[in-house]
Amino acid sequence: MTRACEASGRSPEDVTLLAVSKNHPAETVTEAVQLGVELFGENRIQEAKAKIPASPSSARWHFIGHLQSNKAREAVAWFEMIEGLDSLALAQELQKQADKASKRIRVLAEVNVAGESSKFGWNPERLLTELAPLNALGRIELCGLMTVAPYSTDPERVRPVFRRLRELRDRCADILGAPLPVLSMGMSGDLEIAIEEGATLVRVGTALFGPRPRPVREDV
């Protein structure tokens, strides 16, 4: 990651590493913390509820991936940020649960930049349309945007996706009249391109921890 920052003329301090710890045990998180990793990402509530208390208290946690509305209350309780906010309806449910908990919850709006049917997230134009009602939710703090780029063996092919997310973030910030500092984009195979295009947070799992063990099925 440091090399990628230097190659693009950016400071490594400008980009945060999120270690994708899903399907890895708390012992792995502990080892990562001892090596200086601070931020971790989980995408299953039940797994996180068991793992977070067993991990070092200094570890910080983001929920990544698709969040079901019926898990909103627990997501508000366990995570400092929800990266996979993918609809206004989910935002409204998070607002309700955050209000009950008397807290604010930081979120990233997930955008399906490439329009893939297999992925969740706002269509870019719909996000612009729904930005005002999203911003009006007093318990929701919109910090930026997130996307998952299409898989490609050639990272250069996803550069336009990252560029479009950055441009969309800038449009949203202009509309709101406030900065949206977080751009969560880029994973193990394409983080260099994402950093060149302005990522401030990259989600890395395999490159840190190796292949993931098979996930434990979570009842919904």
pLDDT class for 213, splitting at 50, 70, 90? Answer: low
Tokens of 62: 């983001």
Fold of the domain built from segment(s) 19-176:
TIM Barrel (3.20.20)
Instruction: Summarize pLDDT for 150-164 with one digit per residue, the tens.
Output: 998 998 999 999 999
DSSP state of 5: H
- Better-scored residue on pLDDT, 210 or 15: 15
Per-domain boundaries in the chain: 19-176
Q: Look over the chain and give the mean of its residue pLDDT values, rounded to a whole number.
A: 93
Q: What distances in angstroms separate CA 209 from CA 16, 23, 32, one per listed residue?
A: 17, 10, 9
In this prediction the pTM is 0.91
- Better-scored residue on pLDDT, 102 or 152: 102
Q: Which residues of 166-179 are buried (b: 16+ CB within 10 A; e: fewer)?
A: bebbeebeeeeeee
Residue 45 · residue 75 · CB < 8 Å: yes
Q: What percentage of the chain carries pLDDT values higher than 70?
A: 96
Q: Is the pLDDT of residue 63 over 80?
A: yes
pLDDT class for 220, splitting at 50, 70, 90? Answer: very low
Instruction: Summarize pLDDT for 2-55 with one digit per residue, the tens.
Output: 777 777 788 888 999 999 999 999 999 999 999 999 999 999 999 999 999 999
